[in-house]
Chains A and B, each alone.
Chain A
Amino acid sequence: MAVLEYREVTKLYGGVAALDGVDLTIEPGRIVGLLGPNGCGKSTFLKLACGLLAPTAGEIEICGGRPGQPATHAQVSFLPERMAVPVWMTAAQLVDFYQDFYGDFRRDVALQMLSDLHIDPALRVREMSKGTREKVQLILAMSRAALLYLLDEPIGGVDPATRDYILSTIIANYNPEASVIVSTHLIADVEKLLDEVVFLQNGQVILHDEVDHLRESRGMSVDALFREVFKC
């Protein structure tokens, strides 16, 4: 069974299509790069999958259920682009918060990652730098044993060394039966992780293929292909 299925999904914002008739199926055990220029609909795609937005038309099935239902939320780990955790909380309180609400949360994994990244659990989010805040959010999202991870720009605000740690963490911490959808502009960094890529342009899927097949058939990296397709 597919972990995520979009059937003719359209999302309009005041008459402007952020997503336009998207058909897409993601199978379990895949790491998928959701790529495209600014404003192409990547964040809208992820927010629809989480039930944070309702589609104007079409249907979405996620882990066998509908987006926005508590049972679906229990199986999906979402990392938003924005800082969504309460800033008055400490990292330790956030770990407790996640453990309270998610049965699949792995406290030991979260605490280990906080330690590896030298983040003091007693530090409040408001006292953290922007990069540290992003790391904490990613740690919380990846410490769940979810069926589907939806990561919106997970490495945008961190330094290259941390980026490597985070990417290896994504590989090390996700359940092989689960799928990961990563939206990012830093294609060269994530390319080595990806099984599939989806190119979005003007709210439409213009390419969905396996990374290995793309490299063979096009004779170039995903990063190079992205630059060619979306050349200004």
Chain B
Amino acid sequence: MLKKLLKQEFLATTRVMGILYLVMLVLAMGNQLLVNSLGELGELVRALILLMAMACGLATVPVMIVRFKQNLLGDEGYLMLTLPVSVHQHLWSKLIVSAVWSALSALMTALALNIIRYGSEGADMPLISINGTPLTFGGDGLLVAELVVLGLVGVCTICLQFYAALAAGHGFSRHKMLLSAVWFVGLNAATSLLIELLPSPDLHFRGNLMADVHQAVWLIIAGTAAVGAAYYAITVYCLQRHLNLS
């Protein structure tokens, strides 16, 4: 059933994400024409287009959150939550689709930025750099992979925080969105407090910079995943026990 849910999720979200990517590419390519024809105003337009293209890339998570609310907590919930599918399968389908679109959005944003930079000053500089020095991550492919994992786990955790808050807020009969916002703030505060109260991890730095970085990244991944798991449990509990569709 997860495969069937994934198929439906991709069908539904492709319509929105496809438009976002199209807008990004049109903005990026339009930038080349506009900047050349506008003279001094060109740089301002370039900066605006850059921001808009990046905003399209960053819109992935909000799109996925709106999809969750409409699909499970709105009128469509009457259909989706009466399918012979478990709440876990619903959540995993949404998380997997969010992760895939986030990764694609990152690639599309990079592509759009490269198109925008094409022919401009510093276009020969690497996209990810500090004062012109490219960030090579020490030539360590494993670190890049770890950062990708961290990014995907982070996206899923952010989505789950919104899912948990929305599911909890929609368990009430009235003021569902207001109470969802209250839950979101509460979850944020509880997570921050927990992180403050937990004892600091006993890191063993071995004097090898890259080994220490690997250790730190995995620790952050584990912590983020643990927080995500807590949000996941809250979401499942609310969807199974306290669902209160209008």
Given A13-B173, A14-B173; A78-B82 close (CB under 8 Å):
yes
Contacts of A86 in B (CB 8 A): 12, 76, 79
Chain B interface extent, by class: 20 to 34
Provide a sorted-by-A list of 29 A–B residue pairs whose CB atoms are within 8 angstroms. A13-B173, A14-B174, A47-B245, A50-B82, A51-B82, A52-B77, A52-B245, A53-B243, A53-B244, A54-B241, A54-B242, A70-B1, A73-B82, A73-B83, A73-B84, A73-B85, A74-B84, A78-B78, A80-B75, A80-B78, A82-B75, A82-B78, A84-B76, A84-B77, A84-B79, A85-B76, A97-B8, A101-B1, A101-B4
Residue of A nearest to B71 (CB): A86
Given A78-B78, A85-B79, A88-B12; A52-B85 close (CB under 8 Å):
no
Q: Complex formed: what's the CA distance from A86 to B76 in Å?
A: 6
Q: Are B8 and A53 touching (Cβ within 8 A)?
A: no
| B206: Cβ under 8 A from any A Cβ | no
| A83: Cβ under 8 A from any B Cβ | yes
Contacts of B85 in A (CB 8 A): 70, 73, 101
Q: Are A71 and B84 touching (Cβ within 8 A)?
A: yes
Residue of A nearest to B240 (CB): A68
Contacts of B240 in A (CB 8 A): 68
| B86: Cβ under 8 A from any A Cβ | yes
Q: How far is the CB of B132 from chain A (nearest CB, A)?
A: 47
Cβ-neighbour of A84 out of B15, B78, B242, B243 (below 8 A): B78
Contacts of A54 in B (CB 8 A): 241-243
Q: What is the count of residue pairs linking A and B with beta-carbon distances less than 8 angstroms? A: 64
Given A52-B81, A53-B245, A70-B84, list of 5 further CB < 8 A pairs?
A51-B81, A52-B82, A68-B240, A84-B77, A100-B4
Q: Complex formed: what's the CA distance from A206 to B79 in Å?
A: 31
Contacts of B86 in A (CB 8 A): 70
Q: Are A84 and B75 touching (Cβ within 8 A)?
A: yes
Q: Complex formed: what's the CA distance from A102 to B7 in Å?
A: 15
Could you list which residues of chain B lie within 8 angstroms of chain A, going by C-beta atoms?
1, 4, 7-8, 12, 15, 75-79, 81-86, 173-174, 240-245
Contacts of B83 in A (CB 8 A): 70, 73, 101
| A76: Cβ under 8 A from any B Cβ | yes
Q: Are A88 and B15 touching (Cβ within 8 A)?
A: yes
Q: How far is the CB of B7 from chain A (nearest CB, A)?
A: 7
Contacts of B174 in A (CB 8 A): 14
Contacts of A97 in B (CB 8 A): 8
Q: How far is the CB of A220 from chain B (nearest CB, A)?
A: 35
Residue of B nearest to A67 (CB): B82
Q: How far is the CB of B64 from chain A (nearest CB, A)?
A: 16
Interface residues of A in 31-59 (CB under 8 A from B): 47, 50-54
Shortest beta-carbon contacts, A-B, top 8? A84-B78, A74-B84, A80-B78, A84-B79, A73-B84, A70-B84, A100-B4, A82-B75
Contacts of B8 in A (CB 8 A): 97, 100
Residue of B nearest to A73 (CB): B84
Contacts of B241 in A (CB 8 A): 54
Q: Complex formed: what's the CA distance from A52 to B170 in Å?
A: 12
Contacts of B75 in A (CB 8 A): 80, 82-84
Contacts of A52 in B (CB 8 A): 77-78, 81-82, 243, 245
Q: Are B84 and A101 touching (Cβ within 8 A)?
A: yes
Q: Complex formed: what's the CA distance from A31 to B243 in Å?
A: 28
Q: Complex formed: what's the CA distance from A71 to B76 in Å?
A: 20
Contacts of A101 in B (CB 8 A): 1, 4, 83-85
